[in-house]
Amino acid sequence: MKYRKKAIHLSVSKPINTNEMTINLIMFASVLSKRTSVINTHEALLSELEKYFTINIINYQDISSLSDNDFRLLLIATGGVEQLVVQHIESLTHPISLLTDGLSNSLAASLEISAWFRSKGLRCEILHGDFKKIIQRIQYLYNNFKAMRSIHGQRVGIMGKPSSWLISSGVDYLLAKRRWGIEYIDIPMERIYEKFALISDHEVSAACAAISSQALAIREGNTEELHKAMRLYRAIRQVCEEENLNAVTISCFNLIDQTKTTGCLALALLNNEGIVAGCEGDMQSLFTLMVVKALTGQSAFMANPSKLKENSNEVIFAHCTVGLSQTERFIIRNHFETQSGIAIQGLMPTGDVTILRCGNESLDEFYLSTGTLTENTNYINMCRTQVRVKLNTSIKYFLKNPLGNHHILIAGNWEVAFNDFLQANRCKRIE
């Protein structure tokens, strides 16, 4: 049942732009209370919420009418509902948020309910007090819920095996599926090779000309190499379409042996098109890219921390590919390690950035820091896209407690959004 017909867009500061939000309030009120009088009692709270959201009030008996994609909060409307909430625990989504204005003993009941949930190892928070803070918090909760729903059910293609040096970047498929709802699909590299062989230079010549015209310069790459790299992109793209993949990571160095080209351009273009794509079969970094995309709607830069300067708290991050949309300009190069194929040297905008890495085989740990991208460097002994970042946290993490090699960089300060989302999903922050 809708409390009002119309709501306006949220205008307070927010981490992500969203469309109009529908908030389903599951109302728990004493069986001795009449629905109409209960709603009237909480008129001030409900009217304030309605300024920003479309509000549906649903009796707790009707929880089953909501789908898994419906965002909901528990409206604790009166005291004496503690047992009712416990009886419906299996129908509630987690983490649990209790909304209360304190009237009719609702805050007292919320405290008891929250304590019970926490005693069972379940996350629960109470939304109470200043209206503006409640609105802002609801928006974060809504964004977290939508991000989680967008990750749940995604199909992730693992093309080939992780690179042999990534000894701490794997994922336990079963544990990751239980925690995040992700479906992992192992795809043999032979499917890529077969499609690559069937794609002609003529089929990709227009696309090659277009990418060349956008580049600031072309250094080591030539027309023949660009054609091979674009053919490889088309082959990988076809497999992604056939398997209905939302994300993919590729055993890059095996590609070079078989196709005589690199996957750097393919990954850059896939990320531009909304298919999250990562290097070297690194499944933990790929998941991190997926989290970033779910929360921000943007692609991110997967990179090696290549040089640390402890006295200035700076890190040089580098890799041979980056999504073109992340760059101000880009240069077509060859692959650093093999001096072959096509790579992308992206020139990224300076300013605030966020560094994130999700780790562990069950994807239940994360590292998070903000910083400032101060310059694009051009060292001859590093991968092609290089950025210098001055971190706001100590770089000793990289030396004493790293979660792995690759870390993910995105423009802007997203610390609150990432930290809130990952901790809400029972992940431990590593520092």
Round to whole Å and give the CA distance between 430 and 371. 17
Q: What pLDDT score was predicted for residue 15? A: 40
Q: Where in the chain do CATH 3.40.50.10940 domains reside?
A: 22-151
pLDDT at 162: 63
Q: How far apart are CA 412 and CA 15, in angstroms?
A: 10
The matching CATH number, chosen from 3.30.565.10, 1.20.1090.10, 3.30.70.20, 3.40.275.10, for 155-429 is: 3.40.275.10
Q: Tokens in use for 206?
A: 């227009």
Residues of the chain within CATH 3.40.275.10 domain(s) are 155-429
Cβ 100 vs Cβ 76: under 8 Å = yes
pLDDT along the chain (431 residues), means of 10: 36 41 93 80 93 92 91 95 92 89 95 94 92 93 93 93 58 89 93 95 96 94 92 96 95 82 94 92 93 95 95 96 94 91 95 96 95 96 96 96 95 96 93 90
- 158 CA to centre of own chain: 18
CA distance 98 to 112: 11
Classify strands 407-411 and 124-127 as parallel, antiparallel or unpaired: unpaired
Over the chain, what HEC string results? CECCCCCCCCCCCCCCCCCCCEEEEEEECCCCCCHHHHHHHCHHHHHHHHCCCEEEEEEHHHHHHCCCCCCEEEEECCCCCHHHHHHCHHHCCCCEEEECCCHHHHHHHHHHHHHHHHHCCCCEEEECCCHHHHHHHHHHHHHHHHHHHHHCCCEEEEECCCCCCCCCCCCCHHHHHHHHCCEEEEECHHHHHHHHHHCCHHHHHHHHHHHHHHCCEECCCCHHHHHHHHHHHHHHHHHHHHHCCCEEEECHHHHHHHHCCCCHHHHHHHHHCCCEEECCCCHHHHHHHHHHHHHHCCCCEEEEEEEEECCCCEEEEEECCCCHHHCCEEEEECCCCCCCCCEEEEECCCEEEEEEEEECCCCCEEEEEEEEEEEECCCCCCCCEEEEEEECCCCHHHHHCCCCCCEEEEECCCHHHHHHHHHHCCCEECC
CA distance 405 to 230: 28
The C-alpha angle 419, 420, 423, rounded to 5 degrees, equals 80
Considering the domain 22-151 in this protein, what is its CATH number? 3.40.50.10940
- Residue 61 identity (one-letter amino acid): Q
C-alpha atoms less than 13 angstroms from C-alpha of 192 in its C-beta half-sphere: 32
Q: CB of 144 within 8 A of CB of 234?
A: no
pLDDT for the residue numbered 17: 37
